[in-house]
Each structure stands twice: as C-alpha cells, then as structure tokens.
Chain A
Amino acid sequence: MRQIEYEIINTVEKLFADKKIDIFIGYKKGTLSLQTSPYFLSEQDDVRKLVWNSFCSNNLAVFIPRIIPNSKSKESKPVGILCKGCDSRSLVGLIKEKQINRDNLFIIGISCPGIVDRRKILSRLDGKEIIGIDEDADSIVVKLKDGEKRFEKEEYLCESCLNCAHPTPSIYDVLIRGAVYSLQAITPDPITKDFSSKPREERWKIFETEVSKCIRCYACRDACPNCYCKECFAEQTKPQWLGVSKGLSEVIFYHIVRILHQAGRCVDCGACVRACPMDINLRLFTRVMVDEVKERFGYEPGISLKDTPPLATFSADDKQEFMTEPE
C-alpha cells in the first residue's frame, strides 16, 4: 500500500515539475476514520498529503464535468486525476457524452484491489471509538481503546467491488499497478438476480421499503459522475416533476427516473450507495439495468470510447420483442 502511495506521489510531483498539469485530483486523509476526502492540489500544495488506501471510495470523475469547462483553451494544461477502474469508466462515459475532451485529462490509472465498505466494518465495532487504522495487503486493522480488530479485506468489500469486471482502468496515461484484484466477476450479478427471481408483489414490497427510507437529500445524484445535468429533473419547477414532500409517490418517482437516466450509462461504481445517508440499497436497482444492457445490447458502459450507448442509437433489427411484455 505504502509503496503504491509513494509511486502516486512521485508521479504527481514529476507531472508538476514537468509542467504537464496545473491541478491534480486525488485523495487525502479524511476527517473521520475509515474515510478519505477528495484532494484538489496545485503546485503549491503538499503532494505528500496524497493517500491511497482501501477507503478511497469517491468516484473522482464526478468533479470533471462540474469544474472543468469542456471547451478549455489550447494553452491551458490538462487536469490530472487519479482513477480506479470505475472512475476511468465514468470518464469514458463523460468523454462519449461530450462533457470533457480526452485531451484535457491526464489520467493516472491505478489497478484497483477493491474498496472496503466502512459501514460493514463499523457494524462490527459496536460503536466503539476508533483510535487508529492500519492496513496491509489483505487486511485492515482497526485499533480500539481496548485492543484491536483485524478484518480480511475480501470479506468487507463494497458490493459493486465484490463483482467488478474491470478493476484496471480502461483508459489512462500512466498506469500504476496496485494490489491484484482476485475476485471473479459474475454476470448477471447474483444479488440482483436473486432479486429479479422473486415474485412480483415481493419485488414491489422490497423496492417500496428501500426507497421509503429516502429523505431526498440527492446525495446519490451528487456522487454520480453521470448526473452532471445543470438542472436535474428533481429540482425543475417548470414543469415541476416532483413535489417537495417526502411522500412515497414522490420518492418512487424520483428513484424510477434516476434509474432510467442511468440505463446504459451506470458503471456500477457504487458511489451512490456509499453516499446515501439512509443506507438504501440503490445498487439493487441500478445493477439490474447494467446486466440487462449487457445481455440485450452486449454493451458495457465505460469500456471503449468507440461503441455508442444503446439508448443513443437504434438498430433496424430492434423488433417486436422490445414491444412485448418483459417477464
């Protein structure tokens, strides 16, 4: 881990020294334990503050369309960014949707061993105060006042990391090889497959129970690189799609539309799930779409810069089966 962190720091230092970039987006130590914060640094800032560990959970691509104008002038330098597999998939999506120019990015790719779900760990600590964290290749050691606890990483990964087909970035300028990702990806995802096989009423019940916890803070949207709309439908007032209440029908409306806006675009990074303060299992619903898109159109978002997203195109062979009842 330390080794990789050094490599990142050295690479970034060199990029600044060579005047290749003006700004770099990475991670620094978070204010809470088991967390990191996004770190924007320019040449004057302390490169040594950059960190790389199992809690680098934000999808950094989210900042790209929001802070960098697509039409940067020729003289300005590219923005440096640290990318895990999923962050780079998001960037590919953004490039394809013309939100950013590839030339405006300098990507330090890092082959990712998976992100550890802090909530899974927290749930095992019975609310005890954490004094320190140590991490080696396979495990996390949490130091408590009365001793320490060891957690095998593989058992505590985020759900989307447990079934990640592309832990190595799909595009990058420099690749840093991290720890090896050892899990085998399965499509369709076992968890969503299990959900899909339940009877209709039960599925609705699950969906309803999950989303009824929603407080409409929109953190799931704000954490998602795909949600770069200047004005989200959720906040439009003309027409007003959503009322301002926390009523169930409004919440259901928000969620169904958000999921539909992700169809063929969601890269299953899990950033929305990690951002949700109410622990809603959002992935259960977006992953269904991911698998369906793959099965139906052989399309995986974020893998190639060439193929067209299925909802942005059509084929004259799209026949009757699309119009009949799906099971």
Chain B
Amino acid sequence: MDNFKPRIIIFCCNWCSYAGADLAGVSRLQIAPHFRVIRTMCSGRIEPEFVLKAFQNGVDGVMITGCHPGDCHYISGNYKTIRRYYFLKLLLSEFGVNTKRLKLHFISAGEGIEFQKRVNEFIEEIKKLGSADYAQKE
C-alpha cells in the first residue's frame, strides 16, 4: 500500500481556489504530487457529470473547491454548488458508493496554506481508502 499513488482530480474555480493553489505553488509549499487541477470559471460550473466522469475514468478521489460562501465572483455559484454537491453525495451514498472520495472545500485566493493542508489531508485519506474499486467496472 505504501507505493500506492492515488490519482486525484481537484476542481478549482478561477477566482479564488485556483489563485489559492497558485499561491501555494509560488510559496513553494510542499504538496504530495498525486493530484491534477482542473480550472473552471466558478464552482457552480461543476456539473455532476464532471465528477462522475472522473470516477468512471478511474480517479481515486475528487475534490471540488470554490470561493468561500459570500465570495463567489458570480454571487451565488458556490451556494448552488453546495446544494448540488449535497444531492450528488446523497445519491452516491444511497447507491452504496463510498462518498469519502468526494470532498468540497472553500479556499480563498489568499489561502495557499489552507490549500496545501486540505489537499494533503485528502491525499492521505484516499491513500488509506486505497484504489477506487467501483470505477470502470467494465
């Protein structure tokens, strides 16, 4: 299990969390190299299809990040994300999928350290869970 390298997708919104990730980078904060960032204009752009497609293609975890509530640059995108994310999680867990592999965090442009912390935490958690077995059943 020690050499298990999880594959993780992190969705970042253009205005806050992507800038937060960027800050983590230019501040040279150490983050385990097991994730790829996909940038969207707003966390509200992230459709359930995106998340499911990632899982279907065999990633081990998906993290959605956006601006803090009240800070969305499109005013309410992230509030809607919260509800959508809730339904997605609910449905997945209803069908017996382990929803620990899906996370939502709010990270502002100034929170490089927060980004580092959340991502490292998530990677650790996914490492414990091991590789996703429900993905790509066929």
Interface residues in A136-195 by Cβ distance below 8 A to B read none
Known: A203-B96, A207-B96, A325-B100. 18 other contacts (CB 8 A): A200-B98, A233-B49, A247-B138, A249-B56, A257-B48, A259-B91, A260-B48, A260-B88, A311-B80, A313-B80, A314-B76, A316-B79, A318-B79, A318-B82, A322-B83, A322-B86, A323-B86, A326-B89
Q: Which residues of B contact A (CB under 8 A)?
A: 48-49, 52-53, 56, 69-70, 76, 79-80, 82-100, 104, 134-138
Decide: A311 and B84 in contact? CB cutoff 8 A. Answer: yes
Decide: A203 and B82 in contact? CB cutoff 8 A. Answer: no
In the bound complex, CA of A322 to CA of B86 (Å)? 5
In the bound complex, CA of A252 to CA of B136 (Å)? 10
Decide: B86 and A326 in contact? CB cutoff 8 A. Answer: yes
Q: How far is the CB of A248 from chain B (nearest CB, A)?
A: 5
Neighbour of B96 across the interface among A200, A248, A314, A322, CB < 8 A:
A200
Q: Contacts of B137 on A, CB cut-off 8 Å?
A: 247-249, 252
Main secondary structure of the interface of B (DSSP, over half): helix
In the bound complex, CA of A128 to CA of B4 (Å)? 60
Neighbour of A325 across the interface among B80, B83, B89, B134, CB < 8 A:
B89
Decide: B90 and A292 in contact? CB cutoff 8 A. Answer: yes
Q: How far is the CB of A283 from chain B (nearest CB, A)?
A: 14
Main secondary structure of the interface of A (DSSP, over half): helix
Q: How far is the CB of A258 from chain B (nearest CB, A)?
A: 11
Decide: A314 and B83 in contact? CB cutoff 8 A. Answer: yes
Q: Taking the complex as formed, is A134 at the interface, i.e. its CB lies under 8 A from any CB of chain B?
A: no
Total number of A residues with any Cβ neighbor in B under 8 Å: 38
In the bound complex, CA of A248 to CA of B136 (Å)? 8
Q: Taking the complex as formed, is A75 at the interface, i.e. its CB lies under 8 A from any CB of chain B?
A: no
In the bound complex, CA of A314 to CA of B81 (Å)? 9
Decide: A289 near B91, CB < 8 A? Known: A252-B137, A256-B48: yes
Decide: B83 and A249 in contact? CB cutoff 8 A. Answer: no
Q: Contacts of B89 on A, CB cut-off 8 Å?
A: 325-326
In the bound complex, CA of A202 to CA of B56 (Å)? 21
Q: Contacts of B135 on A, CB cut-off 8 Å?
A: 249
Q: Contacts of B49 on A, CB cut-off 8 Å?
A: 233, 241, 257
- In the complex, 18 of the A-B residue pairs with CB atoms within 8 angstroms, ordered by the A residue number, are A203-B94, A204-B96, A247-B137, A253-B56, A256-B48, A256-B91, A256-B95, A314-B76, A314-B79, A314-B82, A314-B83, A316-B79, A322-B86, A323-B86, A325-B89, A326-B86, A326-B90, A327-B93
